[in-house]
Structure 1
């Protein structure tokens, strides 16, 4: 296991360099001059433009800029914004909010998605199975922004259970509605994926053996059926955690959540290359760590899997 972890950590290095380099090139290939945009419609002094570009390192060749970025990144320095603010400060304000929102959405899709999938798989072709399939199909068919406005209208405007927008991003209660919206699509996929694997495994030989041995039904479902059915679900959930953090732009915008989505949207509009690359770098690290954890969980869920 130790060798496998070390090998995976080494494999992360070229993946990290490749993804950050690609994002770096894409961001700095965007049209327009972000330094010139600081003056708006006013005329800018060429000397001041040159001085700011030199201060930010934007007058260097692109390979030199990327090399400096990686070197500074090793010292936990993500650079500075056009306004002279540390990118680490911007990330430090937005990341904790999105982490709370993403973890809450992740918990909702994990618990409800797996529960609905197991129920649907065990009661295949019965009323519960058909209801779950129809419900998940409806959720998958509705765009996120439409679902968000529907939930706002029902639970905030009509029932007054929650506020239409988040007033305090530190309040977990106010984050509940946007978390449900954010995790709804993934919840539907988790339910369908769990249902498929449960239906497949419930007819396996080891399940017949467990039933023939007279084991309690609860133990059969938890220890045998669910454990073996969770491997593809864990794969999906591991990659989805990073997607929840990076894909919250629409949800955070609708519910006024001051997290990564809002910060990225503002940074792209203002052509803040250092901020965009900094946020994406953090998300890449989240994806890599989540991928490693998923691979390690395989051995926990299925003893037949060994990384030797």
Structure 2
């Protein structure tokens, strides 16, 4: 197991470098000059602009800038915002915890509700409740997240008055309930469908008939034998879904005025603050890599036949 983990950690290095280099290159080739934009419509001496670029290292070639970013990153330095002079690490420290809470709330909602209704429908496949689940999940998949967000905000906040339409700066758990439901709705639909299909297929497997023939209690047959084997594809999806929730929070945070990573990225793109965008994306990439490793290790827990030498 230790050798497998070490090998996977080594495999993460080129993935990490490639993904961060791609994002860094995209910000590098964006049109516009962030230093020149600071002056707005005022006339600025080109020598002053050149001097500022030299101080910020923006006059260096792409490879040199990327190398400087990596060196600073491994020293805990994510760079500095051009407009405000504020360290990017402070921006991330203010925004990331809020998005983490929102994503974790949405993730828990997806796991609990998605798996529950998937099992509920899969145990009685091709019945009315199974068809109702398929229709509901198809509706959630078809409706864009921004449409669902505005509808939820209109009905639950403006019409019924159950929640506030916008999230305050504190972003407590109660205020994040509705944004989390909207953020996790698409993932919930996929989890429910995966669970339903996996449960229905494994119910017809030979080991299930053997467990029933041995006279095992129904609770043990379903809770141990059926669930453990049916959860492998679901866990695979959930392992990458946490990173997707972090990245997909941009639209949801904009609708509900959540002061998280999504709004920070949107503002950074507007002002061409490349260091902020790359720093936030770097953290999301790390979340993806770590969760994918944890999912692979969890396979051995769910299926005893899987062993990592």
Taking structure 1 as the reference length, what is the TM-score of the superposition? 0.98
1:166/1:255 contact within 8 Å kept: yes
1:168/1:174 contact within 8 Å kept: no
2:171/2:258 contact within 8 Å kept: no
> 1:123 maps to what in 2?
124
The alignment's C-alpha RMSD in Å is: 0.8
Taking structure 2 as the reference length, what is the TM-score of the superposition? 0.98
1:169/1:258 contact within 8 Å kept: no
Deviation >4 Å, runs of 4+: none
- Measure the CA separation in 2 of the matches of 1:69 and 1:121: 49
- Measure the CA separation in 2 of the matches of 1:185 and 1:247: 11
Matched length = 308
Residue 51 of structure 2 is aligned to residue 51 of structure 1: yes
Taking the TM superposition and a 5 Å limit, the aligned residue runs for 1:96-175 are 96-175=97-176
**SS in structure 2 at match of 1:146:** helix
Structure 1 position 41, deviation (Å): 1.2
- Measure the CA separation in 1 of the matches of 2:219 and 2:135: 27
Deviates more, 1:48-57 or 1:30-39: 48-57
Gaps of 5+ in 1: none
1:253-294 per-residue CA deviation (whole Å, 9 max, x = no partner) reads 000000110000000010001111101111110100011011
Structure 1 position 180, deviation (Å): 0.1
1:201/1:207 contact within 8 Å kept: yes
1:222-241 per-residue CA deviation (whole Å, 9 max, x = no partner) reads 10111111111011011110
Taking the TM superposition and a 5 Å limit, the aligned residue runs for 1:217-232 are 217-232=218-233
1:184-227 per-residue CA deviation (whole Å, 9 max, x = no partner) reads 00000100011111111111111111111111111111101111
Structure 1 position 169, deviation (Å): 4.1
Taking the TM superposition and a 5 Å limit, the aligned residue runs for 1:238-253 are 238-253=239-254
Deviates more, 1:275-284 or 1:47-56: 47-56
